[in-house]
Amino acid sequence: MPDGYIHLGEDMMLGVAEFLGCLKVHLRHYVVKNNQYIPTRTGIAISPYHWQVLSDSISTLNLESPHACLMIERKLFLSVTDTSVVFQHVFNNNNPKAGL
């Protein structure tokens, strides 16, 4: 397991590492190859500030509502279903003709 990471079960890990010169909190799926944990593209890397917002706000999320959603930042949302936790980064094209 990578130093400083916490195994969350199955192939999911949580840890803090530098990415492109910035400190990030990583929540990511890993695969094991040649007895080494290799990160996959499936996961998120967020700033420590956004991790703190998530940590502070998650208790306010009504998990019993099927439409529960938590805005972590302007374009990053968290929702929870019976079977999964979903992070979504929403993009706005700002093109009035998009989708026509």
pLDDT (tens digit per residue) in 86-95? 767 776 666 5
Contact 71, 59 (CB under 8 A): no
For the chain, domains (ranges, CATH) are 5-89 (2.30.31.10)
Per-residue DSSP letter, 58? G
In the numeric block, which tokens belong to residue 51?
């991790």
Helix-strand-coil percent breakdown of the chain, rounded to 5?
A: 15, 50, 35
Which amino acid makes up residue 65?
A: S
The answer to whether the CB of 66 falls within 8 A of the CB of 88 is no
Find the Cα–Cα–Cα–Cα dihedral 24, 30, 32, 34, rounded to 10°: -40
- pTM equals 0.61
**Per residue in 26-81, pLDDT tens?**
888 999 999 888 888 888 888 898 888 877 776 676 666 666 777 766 777 777 66
